[in-house]
A = this chain, B = another copy of it.
């Protein structure tokens, strides 16, 4: 039985980890921490978990966490980077769902997150946890940095085109839209139902924190410099990311449908839809899955890729469990076989 610890379990990625791990036959959650909710039963905060866990939130205890086979950080940024060094030193393996270890360049991280990094020495070691790109490195990693939700969809969408060098990498466009749960379980007027429901808007147009992560990841894939115009939008839904990607084709002779199908044919969690079928966020809701379509409208030279994920699953907690499975040599699909909830 794999022993799991979760640091910071009161947010949406925390409850989602618990939902997924409840279906994972090989895993036992032994501790879940929260300073604010210390002592409160997990299923009192999240009544969907009643009957599935007999667990209360506790203060973080390094000894207890270090005794786990793997520790998830489901915290806001700026928590993991302070605690992880100690846990690694104590022998733990860590999967960080926050942004702390996603960007390899500490200065770049500081510019976007507005503070200096607390453990820059670990940035080189941390493996970027996109299994479709780094599966082998993940298997051997002590510290995995789970990708952001937008970056997951954008990288999986652009990957075959960039890896094969079929598009102009300097002028990529990503018009993405996310459900509100991506903003976390925090008391903010901007995310009230009364502010968001029945509306749609772009935000962070001049620069969103996921931009440097996206450009780093796409540059790794393209093995060269990539520039993206990234415009995130807020959807009046709870779960789901839809990225609509545009690029100028440098070669229009390739059968892109065949390329995508071939590229992802062995990936358990990337599903290339048939030609002419476009993804919907609802068909991946609750599932650890990215559904992708590719099209070249009017047979011109602009390619359009659409990629959808559930931001809390393939965009966060599901991908984290997938990484855990890889790290621990389990079946990569264990605990992740849920069918999307439709309708």
Contact = CB atoms under 8 A, between A and B. Distances in A.
Question: This chain: how many copies in the complex?
Answer: 4
A332 to B, nearest CB: 14
A298 interface: yes
A313 to B, nearest CB: 10
A30 interface: no
A237 B278 contact: no
Contacts of A254: none
A242 B201 contact: yes
Counting chain B CB atoms within 10 Å of each CB, which of A12, A52, A192, A297 scores highest?
A192
A281 B229 contact: no
A202 to B, nearest CB: 5
B48 A199 contact: no
Interface in A33-69: 44, 46-52
A134 B180 CA distance: 40
Contact of A194 (B48, B191, B278, B337): B191
A318 to B, nearest CB: 12
Given A44-B274, A183-B194, 12 more contacts: A51-B271, A171-B302, A175-B244, A175-B246, A179-B194, A180-B192, A187-B192, A191-B192, A193-B196, A193-B197, A202-B242, A206-B276
A211 to B, nearest CB: 8
Interface in A179-233: 179-181, 183, 185-189, 191-203, 205-207, 211, 227, 229-231, 233
Counting chain B CB atoms within 10 Å of each CB, which of A181, A197, A295 scores highest?
A197
Interface in A248-301: 248, 271, 273-274, 276-287, 291, 293, 295, 297-298, 300
Contact of A193 (B192, B274, B300, B341): B192
B229 A48 contact: no
B19 A343 contact: no
A147 interface: no
A339 interface: yes
Contacts of A173: 173, 246, 302
Contacts of A276: 206
Contacts of A286: 286, 341
Contacts of A304: 202, 205, 229, 231
B22 A339 contact: yes
A126 interface: no
A338 interface: yes
Counting chain B CB atoms within 10 Å of each CB, which of A44, A181, A291 scores highest?
A181
Contacts of A15: 342-343
Contacts of A233: 177, 242, 244
